[in-house]
Amino acid sequence: MYKAKAYSIASSRSPFTGTTIPRRDPTPTDVQIEILFCGICHSDLHQARDEWASVMPTVYPLVPGHEIVGRVTKVGSAVSKFKAGDLAAVGCMVDSDGTCPECKAGNEHFCPNLILTYNFPDKHLGGVTYGGYSDSIVVDQRFVLRVPSNLNLAGTAPLLCAGITTYSPMRQHGVTKGKKIGVVGLGGLGHMGLKFAHALGAHVVAFTTSPKKKEDALRLGADEVVVSRNADEMQKHVESFDFILDTVSAEHDVEALINLLRREGNLTLVGAPPKPFAVSSFSLIMRRRSLSGSNIGGIAETQEMLDFCGTHNITAEVEVIPIQKINEAYERLLKSDVKYRFSIDMASLKAE
């Protein structure tokens, strides 16, 4: 065991402060990574503030962070995929049983014994797992991803959650040329959704509550932009979408989005606001529409997404911050005031 530097939060109302956390020495199948950048996902904020208490209560102190890129510093004797000096990435998962039907099908994210990168039981050291707001991490090689060498690293970190969470449902729902696709919410996930839908050849409509993001949405891949609080603009798109991806983190009118789907269209939720919402059965049954959800993606699909990003030169638009600005960044994230993902430069932590 060794001590790593990290930023943790002690309760739902505390600020983040610098600390040290235990990390295990690499086992034969482990990869030790020096973290270079870590994205700030809205899920980090939900959990730091214990907003998902009814589903996954937060264990404090919490070290969030599941959008990790870095450089391999050490590998266990049985590791074949990586060697010291390689770039590597870790997303939302660090372990699963590897034997259940879900794991065998490449759906580690649905494994009943899945271990998430933070706030999940740590079978090696006891307590809970600690995430990427840290200078290093040790992860089994099965959950370590390869990073295409042409991509900017600060902008690559967010691909590990925002990227796969938007890429996976688009692939599952056949987003392609000739389809009309909506992406709701222009934040970390949403701006990646625009990039992927555009790269997949679809006609893309961005839905935003922030009229000032209109120009950016067009630059990021939208063909049209709708200000979702403007009823007239919404009305123009009634019954026209094949697929809509909803990335919104707070309460909003889901029913209004369902009404924009054509017959048999699908609305997939990836945003995870804490409160349930109301949907009329009629809006679904009268057009045989469907409403579904999606949770990140499996490891093979995450690698496919990273390789797709390498080929198409896709990264997140990031505002790089030192870790000392994390409390300010959380306040800004709550106000949708980030273009479009914060990426923490971990050199700032090493310098402390």
Ligand X SMILES: NC(=O)c1ccc[n+]([C@@H]2O[C@H](COP(=O)([O-])OP(=O)(O)OC[C@H]3O[C@@H](n4cnc5c(N)ncnc54)[C@H](OP(=O)(O)O)[C@@H]3O)[C@@H](O)[C@H]2O)c1
Residue nearest to ligand X (CB): 187
The verdict on 210 binding ligand X (CB under 6 A) reads yes
Residue 300 binds Zn ion (CB under 5 A): no
CA 292 → CA 243, 252, 262, distances in Å?
A: 11, 16, 15
Query: CA Rg, the chain, in Å?
Result: 20
For residue 208, CA distances in Å to 136, 295, 326 come to 36, 22, 25
Select from Zn ion, ligand X, none the partner in contact with residue 119, using the beta carbon and a kind-dependent cut-off of 5 to 8 Å: none
CB 208 within 8 A of CB 191: no
Please, how many CA atoms are within 13 Å of residue 225, restricted to the half-sphere of its CB?
A: 21
Q: Which is nearer to ligand X, 5 or 341 (CB)?
A: 341
- Binding to ligand X in span 45-104, by CB under 6 A: 46
Length of the chain (residues) = 352
Q: Is 271 in the site for ligand X (CB under 6 A)?
A: yes
- Residue 320, classified by CB atoms within 10 Å of its CB into exposed (0-12), middle (13-18) or buried (19+), is middle
**Longest distance between any two alpha carbons in the chain, whole Å:** 62
In the Cβ-directed half-sphere of 192, how many Cα atoms lie within 13 Å?
29
Size of the site for Zn ion (CB under 5 A): 8
Of the ranges 39-47, 78-86, 258-266, 315-323, which one interacts with ligand X (CB under 6 A)? 39-47
Q: Which of 249, 259, 283, 302 binds ligand X (CB under 6 A)?
A: 249
Residue 186: which of Zn ion, ligand X, none does it interact with, CB under 5 to 8 A by kind? ligand X
43 binds Zn ion (CB under 5 A): yes
Interacting partner of 103 out of ligand X, Zn ion, none (Cβ under 5 to 8 A depending on kind): Zn ion
Which of ligand X, Zn ion, none lies near 192, with the C-beta cut-off 5 to 8 A by kind? Answer: none
User: What is the closest distance, in whole angstroms, from the C-beta atom of residue 158 to Zn ion in the complex?
Assistant: 9
Per-residue mark of binding to ligand X, 278-317 (x: CB under 6 A): ----------------xxx---------------------
Choose, by CB under 5 A, the member of 33, 41, 139, 261 that binds Zn ion.
41
- Closest to ligand X by CB, 109 vs 289, is 109
> Shortest approach of ligand X to residue 25 CB, angstroms?
31
Counting contacts by CB under 6 A, is residue 189 touching ligand X? yes
What's the gap between Cα 165 and its chain centre?
6
Q: Indicate whether 185 belongs to the interface with ligand X (CB under 6 A).
A: yes
Q: At what angle do helices 299-312 and 162-172 cross, to 10 degrees?
A: 100
Instruction: State yes or no: residue 43 binds ligand X (CB under 6 A).
Output: yes
- Of 115-144, binders to Zn ion (CB under 5 A) are none
Q: Which residues bind ligand X (CB under 6 A)?
A: 41-43, 46, 161-162, 165, 185-190, 208-210, 213, 247-252, 270-273, 294-296, 333, 336
Residues that bind Zn ion (CB under 5 A): 41, 43, 96-97, 100, 103, 111, 161
